[in-house]
Chain A
Amino acid sequence: MNRASRFPTALAVLLGGVAAAFAWMAMRPTVWADNFRLTTLPDARTAPDFQLTDFNGRPRSLLDYRGRVVVMFFGFTRCPNACPTELFTLAQVMKRLGPASDHVQVLFITLDPERDTPKLLRGYVTAFDRRFVGLTGTMEQIDSAANSYHVMHVKELIGDDYTIGHSTASYVLDAQGRQRLKVPLDATVDDFAHDLAQLTRGLE
């Protein structure tokens, strides 16, 4: 092998290396560059879609909210503590975000479609923030949405009535519809706002 034939080989190896480096950088999820305070969902999978109806009677799927950061919380209006507290926290987070809150959509999905009528849902969620949206559907549609987020819920008798036990974490999807954060009930307004601000960066 002479010098003349060795040169193209070395160049090819070098170019290959550079190409591989670029490919690795491009494939590397951009999420790593962010600095979150809440629990991140590392694989950032595309969030499973749902078929629900908003409190104005319009059929809704996740695609309708693409381009915005989505916060999903599953609850019911007869919930004494967790749901009003979480919605209030989210209302404070929206205030804290200021103009960036225009890029955030909070969705409250009822686990009690039997009693949470669209009208009741509208009055309830918009009392916390006028931009919040309440979603309902058939029990099958709601079950399917809850299952795809691993949200557990169980109807339980209490006195001569029933209540609903449920998971209390919220889920945050980025503007591309990928699952990014799982937020516990006791997350602070500070941490929640901090992480949503990261996700709204660069959104127009």
Chain B
Amino acid sequence: MNTHIQCARSVLTRVLVLVLVFALPALAADQHAGLLTIIQPWSRATPPGAVIGAAYFEIINAGAADTLLRIESPVAREVEMHMSFVEGGMMRMRAMPSVKVPEHGHLRFDPNGMHAMLIDLRQPLKEGQRFPMTLVFQHAGRMSVEAVVGGLGATSAPTQEGGAHEQG
């Protein structure tokens, strides 16, 4: 009797899992937001007087392709998406009007490539501070995250548990 119930439960679980697996692609058509995950949004502290900051994050996309249209944040007058690249022996930058998020793929903003350029910071960014950032996607719509500010020369996201500590 007991084993019978366990067996029935196990069958039910399998059926549910199967239903979910097959239903997901159908859901994807309508609920892009649920399939985009923004991980480790971070920035680095800025020296006094600096008017520019940069923020980074990674987007994991478990669904269809989408496009990142713009980024907003109250810490700056304006946020632009920029790409750093080395050309002719120089570190250069160009603006990206929008950025594709590949289907079932990921998109990384990091110090070696794309960054959210925080233009005309209202206040210097302080280590350990958190600030809101909204990413606006063509299909998924608006997604809000909280960026963590690392040390002055941080080159990667500060560790979550220990807060944002400068090395050395």
Contact = CB atoms under 8 A, between A and B. Distances in A.
Whether chains A and B associate is yes
Interface of B: 44, 46-54, 80, 82, 84, 87-95, 111-112, 115, 117, 119, 151-153, 155, 167-168
Nearest to B78: A159
Contacts, number: 96
Which 7 residue pairs across A and B have the least CB separation, nearest first?
Answer: A88-B153, A127-B47, A165-B92, A123-B49, A80-B54, A123-B48, A165-B90
A102 B91 CA distance: 31
Contacts of A88: 151-153
B155 A80 contact: no
A109 interface: no
B45 to A, nearest CB: 9
Given A80-B54, A92-B168, A120 B89 contact: no
B152 A158 contact: no
A67 interface: no
Nearest to A150: B89
Contact of A168 (B52, B91, B111): B91
Nearest to A127: B47
A37 interface: no
A88 B127 CA distance: 14
Given A123-B48, A166-B91, A167-B89, A85 B153 contact: yes
B82 A80 contact: yes
A102 B95 CA distance: 41
Interface in A120-145: 120, 123-125, 127-128
Nearest to B54: A80
A30 interface: no
8 contacts: A79-B52, A124-B47, A124-B48, A125-B47, A156-B92, A156-B94, A158-B82, A167-B89
A187 to B, nearest CB: 13
